[in-house]
Amino acid sequence: EGLFTYDPGFVATAATESAITYIDGAEGVLLHRGYPIGELAQHSNHVEMCYLLLFGELPTDQEYEDFSKTIRNHTMVHEQLANFYKGFRRDAHPMAILCGVVGGLAAFYHDNLDITKEEERRVSAIRLIAKMPTLAAMCHKYNIGQPFNYPRNDLDYAENFLYMMFGNPCEPYETNPVFAKAMDRIFMLHADHEQNASTSTVRLAGSTGANPFACISAGIAALWGPAHGGANEAVLNMLDEIGDESEENIQRFIDRAKDKDDPFKLMGFGHRVYRNFDPRAKVMKESCDEVLRELGQDDAQLRIAKRLEQIALEDEYFIERKLYPNVDFYSGIILKAMGIPTNMFTVIFAVSRTIGWISHWNEMITNGYRIGRPRQLYTGYTQRDYPAK
Ligand code: CMC
């Protein structure tokens, strides 16, 4: 009693020091290694951001060349992994498949698993960054019954992912530069977000000395939930559920979100840390407009999304509670417009967040750590006797 701080949900407990990402929720600021996310989204690309997050500095031209070449060298996955996929039902959720195959990577790449050696940690990090898009696209191809595509190293990171998702052996594949740019931005905007639930999970798993593939698999599991990475998928499911775009119907759902007796929440709204606006959402909204312009798309779900956003931004309930659209409100809409199936949205979040997870894991091992072991306030029975029979 009195020994522990009781902080459910960790709203006021720092579990670690970190020099990777800074967030000021009140001001809507997000910095990676000191650089504002808006500037990175404007001028950088995902591979360069991976270098920055992992190593702490932007690469020189030569360092960038070398790093991106190393990543390209690792994009293929062990051929036997295809069998792993085949053990799943065709209609398995791709997040379920991803948890399994990423955890399973340790069985294929156990040659560099001495986590006390910096060079070996680096190899595992590169393998994860390089292979995640391949593994993710394989989930989709397996679901739709098409052959897996080998990665194409002549394409850049985002282009290659889109190719592995949408290319097929019967037709020539053409990159759409607007889609590739939007995809790369989605990767960048989800790359890291300090001690969120999945990153904290990766650190906690890592604090036992578990191998990095196992730790990232734990992170993927934590990301899956609708309160976290599952939100982008949940946004589209919500738009589906709303269905009818009449004003009364949309208002009915807004009222449901405000009703404490109704579990319905406005998915893609609110954030534990951002209480002003989500700086990622601002950039994502721009991308969203670009993609929709390119497609000339005007569909009912998108109109519902726009209307929901408008109503919520003017509604006292949301204003008082500082609930704004978060990054996932717009990312879901972009992904849908590009033809990516809803069940792949969280998988794409996992591909993006892999660099954040592995950078935090590497930082923890580098800086030294103790096993993470939260305490509890026990509320059960005091000792009692086993009933006599
Ligand atoms: N719709 C309706 N009411 C909401 C919502 C929402 N989306 N989010 C929060 N509230 C209400 C909540 O009921 C509470 O009301 P009251 O004070 O009257 O009890 C108040 O706002 C404060 O919310 P909270 O539940 O204390 O906030 P939290 O920090 O515990 O939860 C959250 C943050 C993101 C889990 C939550 O806002 C939520 O469930 N949002 C929808 C899911 C979502 O979009 N998640 C993605 C987050 S961004 C991507 C990522 O990094 O994972």
Asked if residue 268 is part of any domain, the answer here is: yes
Can you tell me the distance from the alpha carbon of 261 to that of 257, in angstroms, rounded to the nearest whole number?
9
The model's pTM? 0.91
3-class SS of residue 227: coil
At 2, the pLDDT band (50, 70, 90 cuts) reads low
Per-residue pLDDT reduced to its tens digit, 336-382: 889 999 999 999 999 999 999 999 999 999 999 999 999 999 999 99
Task: Report whether pLDDT(59) > 90.
Answer: yes
Task: Report whether pLDDT(302) > 90.
Answer: no
Asked if residue 73 is part of any domain, the answer here is: no
Ligand 1 — pocket residues by CB below 6 A? 193, 196, 227-229, 231, 257, 265-272, 321, 323, 326-328
At 287, the pLDDT band (50, 70, 90 cuts) reads confident
Question: What is the mean predicted confidence (pLDDT) over 95-122?
Answer: 95
Question: What is the mean predicted confidence (pLDDT) over 5-27?
Answer: 94
Asked if residue 39 is part of any domain, the answer here is: no
Residue pair 216/210 in contact by the 8 Å Cβ criterion: no
Distance 269 CA to ligand 1 centre (A): 7
328 tagged catalytic = yes
Asked if residue 165 is part of any domain, the answer here is: no
Q: Which pLDDT score is estimated for 1?
A: 52
Which residue do the tokens 């976290």 mark? 228
Range(s) of the domain holding residue 313? 231-337
Can you tell me the distance from the alpha carbon of 363 to that of 273, in angstroms, rounded to the nearest whole number?
22
Give the Cα-Cα-Cα angle 62, 359, 275 (nearest 5 degrees): 115
Can you tell me the distance from the alpha carbon of 279 to that of 31, in angstroms, rounded to the nearest whole number?
10
Asked if residue 23 is part of any domain, the answer here is: no
Asked if residue 315 is part of any domain, the answer here is: yes
193 tagged catalytic = no
Q: Whose CA is nearest to atom 16 of ligand 1?
A: 321
Task: Report whether pLDDT(207) > 80.
Answer: yes
Q: Which pLDDT score is estimated for 352?
A: 98
Per-residue pLDDT reduced to its tens digit, 24-35: 998 999 999 999
Can you tell me the distance from the alpha carbon of 291 to that of 338, in angstroms, rounded to the nearest whole number?
8
Residue 279 amino acid letter: P
CATH number for the domain that contains residue 293: 1.10.230.10
32 tagged catalytic = no
Can you tell me the distance from the alpha carbon of 97 to that of 88, in angstroms, rounded to the nearest whole number?
7
**Phi and psi torsions of 168, nearest 5°:** -140, 160
At 173, the pLDDT band (50, 70, 90 cuts) reads very high
Give the number of the atom of ligand 1 that is nearest the alpha carbon of residue 268.
Answer: 44
Mean pLDDT, all residues of the chain:
94
Beta strands in 276-340 (DSSP E): none
Count the domains in the chain. Answer: 1
Asked if residue 303 is part of any domain, the answer here is: yes
Can you tell me the distance from the alpha carbon of 327 to that of 318, in angstroms, rounded to the nearest whole number?
17
In percent, how much of the chain has pLDDT > 90?
80
In percent, how much of the chain has pLDDT > 70?
99
Asked if residue 279 is part of any domain, the answer here is: yes
Q: Which pLDDT score is estimated for 269?
A: 93
Which of 7, 256, 317, 326 maximizes ligand 1 atoms within 8 Å of its Cβ, making it the mutation to test the pocket? 326
Q: Which pLDDT score is estimated for 55?
A: 98
- Beginning with the edge strand found earlier in the chain, give each strand of the sheet holding 21-24 in spatial order: 21-24, 29-32, 35-36
